[in-house]
Structure 1
Amino acid sequence: MAVNLASSVTSFLIAFVVLPLIIRYMMRNKILDAPDSRKVHKVSTPSLGGIAIFAGFMLSTLVFMDFSHWDNMRYILASLFLVFLIGVRDDVVPFKATHKLFGQLVAIAVLCISTVRIDSFYGLLGIETLPAWVSYGLTGFSIVIITNAFNLIDGLDGLAGSVGLVALGAFGIWFYAVDDLVFSMMCFSLIGGILAFLIYNWQPAVIFMGDTGAMVIGMMLSILAIRFMNVNAGLPDENPWQYNAPIATAASFIIVPLTDTLRIIILRLSRGQSPFKADKSHIHHALMGNGYTHGETALILAAVSTIFVVLAWVCRDYSDKWLIPAIVVSAALFGFLVGKIKFKKSLTAN
């Protein structure tokens, strides 16, 4: 754990030093995220905070990594670097959605050279090992969904960072417990960078992480989810950290962005709109529309994430065939009820 702490502190310090430099440079050159009808911020704000997060994460990881794992890790880090470059370009000069997707697929192709791949259903529906073409396709699809789902929740001060911290903390502790120390260290390295960023991003934010940060964190969470399922499958049955529902557990760790994405798709389709049309139908918009501040909304959704992580641990002896339906129903109820929360708050206030 000493290495994890050192990597986290190192990443924090690097990001903490770099962030003011980015803010000054972007303010001076007027490279700012301007408010519009889809956004909740009221003043033009720098949006390349992800550069500092990534700098802290990458430098700390390279300093503290066990390089006996380099043959595998180089492809993971290269894929994250590609996503980082895509995010920087998109924050400065926005990509078309198709161009951004193509860039993500290139990064995923690099990642698939490593051992990070969904190669099994872990007994769900009686399916174990997947054919190679199914494995690569499912891996790519899952990473695209998770990466962009996390990017979509980056709509309020402190929100993406708070939700990311919960997921990274859950994965980081688990990887440490099962002796997968390189991935645990990477989790804590990214945690350090995000903690430094939140100092500047908590309401009122003076910088946003932008696609630069949100896509890197989302990509990292998708990698961790796949790695979690693969490592969990190899644990002996007597290991207390083994989950009998690896798919449901991985989804539980990143439940907020997944629920939000599914919710907005359903809402937009029910209104006869394109699911890709940008609007204010996200979970965080519903909470803010019901009277909650940026900070309160971020803490509520971080608390929801924590609850699902704890529930996954409590229910770790149940299989995916039971937990996947339970999680789907729970997430659906949360997505439906989230717009009703303010009603009680209003009654209390009155």
Structure 2
Amino acid sequence: MEHTILPLILASCWAFLIAIFAVPSIIRVAHIKNILDQPNLRTVHEELTPRLGGGAIFAGFMSALTIFTELNNGVQQLLAACVMLFFIGLKDDLINISALKKFSMQLLATGIVMFMADIRITSFQGVFGIGELEMGISYGFTFLVIIGITNSINLIDGLDGLAGTIVMITACTFGVYFYLYGGAAYGNYAAVAFSLVGGVAGFLRYNFHRATIFMGDTGSLLCGFILSVLAIQFIEMRNVSAAPSIAVGVLFIPLFDTIRVLLIRTIQGKSPFLPDKKHIHHRLLAMGLSQIGTVIALAVINLLIVLFVVLFDDIGNDSILLSLLFFSVALSIFLGIYRYRSAHSVSEV
């Protein structure tokens, strides 16, 4: 099957138009029905704001994908899982449900794409000498990847425009790779990526500071889950040099933030799932950056890392991953030192 650029452009533009026209209606209904996010000690915003923007992303993404691409090679099962996550996210945005219920639905959605569509990581492709994975390890690792990436987008959704910007950078990168190298087996995932880009772009029109709507769990769970499947299918293409390490680099900001925060909480003897203000965007805000400045800084970091892993893919998986690890440690030390200096300065005053 020959893939052309026109359907991808049409899919992205369709998703964008659906989302950008849907958001004002969602905002209006949310204010009429008083379905608004209450500011608290963990949030940065200070006003009552709707958090149902994921509905616009979902509408744009789903309609574009079903119109402009073929629902084969696992895309049909992906859409079924997205429908489930959309409704559990919507329920959480409306009435706040338990973490166990949300996790149960994520588990079911993950099972659909893993067992019904056979979307899973089957090989590490030589990363640290590891090749093909045994069946049980393949399913177990894939489960961790999907759950981890899905929730990493949810965790980084703490500033106006931040999660949406990172999602767009990530989806764009994967989309270009699928278009160039996907072929008949994976080419339709380019449409998945660019449909997501269009939907998120339409939503971002109303989400940049000061945001008049948030994506909520409806959007963050949906975007995170789609990105996790894109990452897995990207790795499984097998015709991209150093694909596993490139995938890690493309998703660097949400993965770094999630792992860093979980490690800090664990070291401090706190629950890894206890909400706090230790995320990277909170640290940058504490340094004096504005919300817009923080979003731009994190977007630039992510873009630079994407450029690094794309341009230097010939150095191999191990070298790229070690470079990313070195940068992660350096960035963590910088954030920690600045925090210490800030606290020390305040105590002296």
Q: 1:274 aligned to 2:278?
A: no
Match of 1:289 in 2: 286
User: Would the aligned equivalents of 2:52 and 2:218 in 1 still touch at CA under 8 Å?
Assistant: yes
Query: 265-274 vs 160-169, which deviates more?
Result: 265-274
TM-score using structure 2 length = 0.92
Contact 1:252 1:327 in 2 (8 A): yes
Letter in 2 for 1:12: F
- Quote the offset at 1:270 in angstroms: 3.0
Q: Residue in 2 aligned with 1:176?
A: 179
1:51 & 1:320 partners in 2: Cα distance? 37
Query: 1:204/1:311 Cα in 2 relative to 1: closer, same or farther (>3 Å)?
Result: same
Identical-residue share of aligned pairs (%)? 37
Q: CA deviation at 1:144?
A: 0.5
Out of 78-87 and 41-50, give the one that drifted further.
78-87
Match of 2:226 in 1: 220
Q: Is the 1:8–1:60 contact (alpha carbons within 8 Å) kept by the matching residues of 2? A: yes
Secondary structure in 2 aligned to 1:164?
Answer: helix
Looking at structure 1, the residues matched to 190 and 264 of structure 2 have their Cα atoms a distance apart, in angstroms, of 37
The correspondence for 1:72, drawn from 71, 74, 86, is 74
Q: CA deviation at 1:339?
A: 6.0
1:101-250 map, 5 Å: 101-112=103-114, 113-178=116-181, 179=183, 180-231=186-237, 233=238, 235=239, 242-243=240-241, 245-250=242-247
Contact 2:313 2:320 in 1 (8 A): no
Write the mapping of 1:91-102 to structure 2, written as runs, cut at 5 A.
91-102=93-104
Q: Secondary structure at the match of 2:313?
A: coil
Residue of structure 1 in register with 2:347 after alignment? none
Letter in 2 for 1:77: L
User: Would you say the 8 A contact 1:287–1:341 is kept in 2?
Assistant: no
Following the alignment from structure 1 to structure 2, what is the Cα–Cα distance between the partners of residues 306 and 341?
24
The one-letter code sitting in structure 2 at the alignment partner of 1:254 is L
Cα deviation digits, residues 277-320 of structure 1 (max 9, x gap): 11100000011111111111111111111011100012111222
* Deviations 1:89-131 (CA, angstroms, capped at 9, x unpaired): 1111222112211110000001111132111121224332222
Unaligned regions of 5+ residues in structure 2, if any?
Answer: 343-349
RMSD between aligned residues: 1.7
Which of 46, 51, 64 aligns to 1:47? It is: 51
Describe the SS at the equivalent of 1:207.
Answer: coil
Which residue in 2 is equivalent to 1:16?
20
Shift of residue 340 of structure 1?
6.2
TM-score by length of 1: 0.91
State whether structure 2 residue 257 is matched by structure 1 residue 253: no
What count of residue pairs does the alignment treat as equivalent? 333
Whole-angstrom distance in 2 between the partners of 1:159 and 1:126: 36
